[in-house]
Amino acid sequence: MNILILSAGTRNKVVQYFKKELEGKGKVVATDCSNLAPAVYEADKFYLVPRITEPGYLEMVLDICKKEEITGVFSLIDPELSLLAKEKDRFLAIGAQPVVSPYELTETCFDKYKMYRLLCGMGIPTGKCYVEKEEFFQAQEKGEIGFPVFVKPVKGSASININKVYGKKEIEVLFDLYDDLMIQEYMDGTEFGADVYVDMVSGKCTSIFVKKKIKMRAGETDKSVSVKDGELFCLIQEFVEKCGFCGMIDIDIFKIGDRYYISEVNPRFGGGYPHAHECGVNMPAQVVRNLTGQSNEVSIGRYETGICMMKYNEIMIKEMKDTEITG
């Protein structure tokens, strides 16, 4: 069994975890558009590829799958998930199983307003959102929402171009400067993250790991502590199974008072997944088991509380004097 990890970037730990899981059973192949992406050097083999927007990119990835006899393939960046989901049948035709949720669901995750509408339709608490500034102003005048609020791109990631706004004039300026913005209620509560696995064979949610976020950096969890709450487990399990998610899911959650609110959903490994893994929530093992056609047992909340994750900087040194550097 061979696994292909696309756009590996700096996710060294994910590559390491899959290598350990496949030891003696197969290899891990990685790709990136830059040969300064440290995670590719953790793999058994890596390929330097064009950016996903370049012509011929998909064909190159399919060729890698054929050449390396890939069994399962997944990506670590958002835009590529939609590509994998949309072209799933082409991968399956050559024996490579994309570990990704259905295309329409994946697209919904990357459109924050669509996700808001989905959550509302399911009766799941979430922060109020507006794509029309006039609609927001009317709601604000009625006292249905107040400042501050977040103004952010409807589609975006890594907390890019997100602004905390305190007045009407700031909203007017931002909407004049940028297209496709939305206004989101400021969630003044405790922030949590959930690493979730939905079995590719049974469709059941088999793992949920919840961490309370202590510090964030560039949109990712920098410091966190493991926690458990049966009520939150039930909310997440019902949500992901009803929607039909598949594989690894990363969910952002707020708790205000005694109520949980789902904020955003990323259908991939989250940047804080190593916290879950080091606490015993082994998603690579579940992926490998699914790729052999076997389902995983449900083991929600099977980890210890009070375990902290603290990210810190590390470096990789490579001699590349005779190599063209692609950054």
Do the Cβ atoms of 33 and 50 come closer than 8 Å? Answer: yes
Identify whether the C-beta of residue 154 lies closer than 8 Å to the C-beta of residue 181: yes
**pLDDT higher than threshold 70 for residue 157:** no
Residue 134 C-beta-side C-alpha neighbours within 13 Å:
0
List, in sequence order, every residue forming a beta bridge with 264; answer none if it has no partner.
Answer: 252
Q: What pLDDT is attached to residue 15?
A: 98
Q: How confident is the model at residue 159 (pLDDT cuts 50, 70, 90)?
A: low
Cβ proximity of 3 and 29 under 8 Å: yes
**Is residue 164 over pLDDT 60?**
yes
Exposed / middle / buried, residue 306 (Cβ in 10 Å: 0-12, 13-18, 19+): exposed
Instruction: Provide the pLDDT for residue 158.
Output: 55
Looking at per-residue pLDDT, the higher value among 155 and 206 belongs to: 206
Mean pLDDT within 216-242: 93
Examine the pLDDT at 283 and tell me if it is beyond 70. Answer: yes
**Confidence label for 318 from pLDDT (cuts 50, 70 and 90):** very high
CB 263 within 8 A of CB 187: yes
Q: Measuring CA to CA, which residue among 60, 114, 110 is closest to residue 87?
A: 60
- Region 156-170: mean pLDDT is 82
Q: Report in angstroms the alpha-carbon separations of 38 from 26, 33, 46, 77, 252.
A: 21, 12, 11, 15, 27
pLDDT at 152: 93
Residue 182 to residue 60: CA distance in whole angstroms: 36
What number of helices (H) and strands (E) belong to the chain? 11, 15
Average pLDDT for residues 121-131, to the nearest whole number? 97
Q: Calculate helix-pair angle for 168-177, 133-141, nearest 10 degrees.
A: 170
C-alpha closest to that of 280 among 297, 302, 300: 302
Q: How confident is the model at residue 161 (pLDDT cuts 50, 70, 90)?
A: confident
Residue-wise pLDDT tens digits, 246-277? 999 999 999 999 999 999 999 999 999 999 99
The predicted-structure confidence for 57-96, as pLDDT tens digits, reads as follows 999 999 999 999 999 999 999 999 999 999 999 999 999 9
Q: Which of 181, 191, 196, 247 is nearest to 219 (CA)?
A: 191
CA distance 216 to 54: 32
* Model confidence band, residue 327 (pLDDT cutoffs 50, 70, 90): confident
Radius of gyration of the chain (CA): 20
233-248 b/e (C-beta count within 10 Å ≥ 16 → b): bebbbebbeebebbbb
pTM above 0.85, yes or no: yes
| Residues 214 and 152 sit within 8 Å (Cβ to Cβ) | no
pLDDT at residue number 141:
94
Percent of the chain with pLDDT over 90: 94
Per-residue tokens: 86: 């949309």
- What pLDDT, on a 0 to 100 scale, did the predictor assign at position 160? 66
pLDDT in tens, 221-232: 899 999 999 999
b or e along 253-272 (b: 16 or more beta carbons within 10 Å of the residue's beta carbon)?
bbbeeeebbbbbbbbbbbbb
What separation in angstroms does the CA of 198 have from each of 134, 205, 269, 283, 327? 39, 4, 12, 10, 35
Angle between helices 12-22 and 283-291 (to 10 degrees): 50
